[in-house]
Chain A
Amino acid sequence: MARIIVITSGKGGVGKTTTSAALAMGLAQRGKRTVVIDFDVGLRNLDLIMGCERRVVYDFINVINQEANLNQALIRDKRCDHLYVLPASQTRDKDALTKEGVGRVLDELSQSYDYIVCDSPAGIEHGATMAMYYADDAIVVTNPEVSSVRDSDRMLGILSSRSRRAENNDEPIREYLLLTRYNAERVDVGEMLSVEDVQEILSLTLLGVVPESKAVLTASNNGIPVILDRESDAGQSYADMVSRYLGEEVPHRFIHAEKKGFLSRLFRG
């Protein structure tokens, strides 16, 4: 049985797809058989971030409608043997994602994979609720910014009421906080909500803090999940996140601004 992880946020542009790609790649690199599914029907982007946009033949909706089987639609990642991508449909409307259809595809994937990562669309509409319905774990991607934090809190309410686990009175979805686009310098001068502030408001287990980083845009330009950029702060923090998700104890990095030396402060270097 696979573990189903939803990457969700409510607000758009906070880093859900970047996180989905990084998590899926990170899990696969550790030998876990992983599939990452794009639930953003009509506005697919995961294939671009994963760099496999030119290899899309069939998509998630084709599989749900039984116009193609899973083997035809799954795209094997060229960098990692254990990773597969199931792209979203570019054209059809979101109603094509039926609860039964999604459930059937996830059941089938569960037979042969260890982890299923569901990249949720923004908002609280049908696509987002379908992405979270079958989840075992949820990673709530949040920026240290008022509207993102509020939307994340709304998402937590929906996770606890409108999921399969909630409806069946099973053990609730495990919820984790991932803070992205974090700028430690601005936090230090009181211009940005701190990790502690956001955690106090949302009271979630902190899975990681990803600093605002140029590496994220560079990675998406190149179609390479940023976790593969081991030199970058964002890549390293995503690698830490994967370790923590798998139960390892890893200290948080990039939360505090680097202390500048006396001379560099003197010269504003």
Chain B
Amino acid sequence: MGLLDYFRSNQPKSSANVAKERLQILVAHDRATRGQPSYLPQLQQEILAVIRKYVDVDLDAVSVNYEQEDSREILELNIVLPDVPSAPRI
């Protein structure tokens, strides 16, 4: 890193750089969800509702991943259960 770069790095990021980073994240996310079945968000909501009947999990504790390969589709469910069981104690 040159001496000039050292001084530059202390400056705030240029707005163009901020724009680029935001877009890269956004576009990657958009592309990942592209081509997914349209029922996926509702499926996620309903699964979450069922789980919350029994376990007190956060709203973002269920992640639904959909992947498509050449001849097969993979639907992956990931549920994060709380560390301490939140069942009513006597």
Contacts and interface: CB of A to CB of B under 8 A. Distances in A.
Interface of A: 145-146, 149-150, 153-154, 157, 161, 187, 189-194, 197, 200-202
Contacts of B34: 157
A202 B28 CA distance: 10
Interface of B: 14-17, 19-20, 22-24, 26-27, 30-31, 34-35
Chain B contact residues: over half helix, strand or loop, or mixed? helix
Contacts of A153: 27, 30-31
B23 A187 contact: no
Nearest to B27: A153
B17 A190 contact: yes
A22 B34 CA distance: 33
Contacts of A154: 30
B16 A150 contact: no
A146 B16 contact: no
B15 A146 contact: no
8 contacts: A149-B23, A153-B31, A157-B34, A187-B16, A190-B16, A192-B16, A200-B24, A201-B20
Given A154-B30, A157-B31, A161-B35, A193 B14 contact: no
Given A150-B27, A200-B20, 13 more contacts: A149-B23, A149-B27, A150-B30, A153-B31, A157-B34, A190-B15, A190-B17, A191-B14, A193-B20, A194-B16, A197-B16, A197-B20, A201-B27
Contacts of B31: 153, 157
A110 B16 CA distance: 43
Contacts of B19: 145-146, 193, 197
A153 B23 CA distance: 10
Nearest to B11: A190
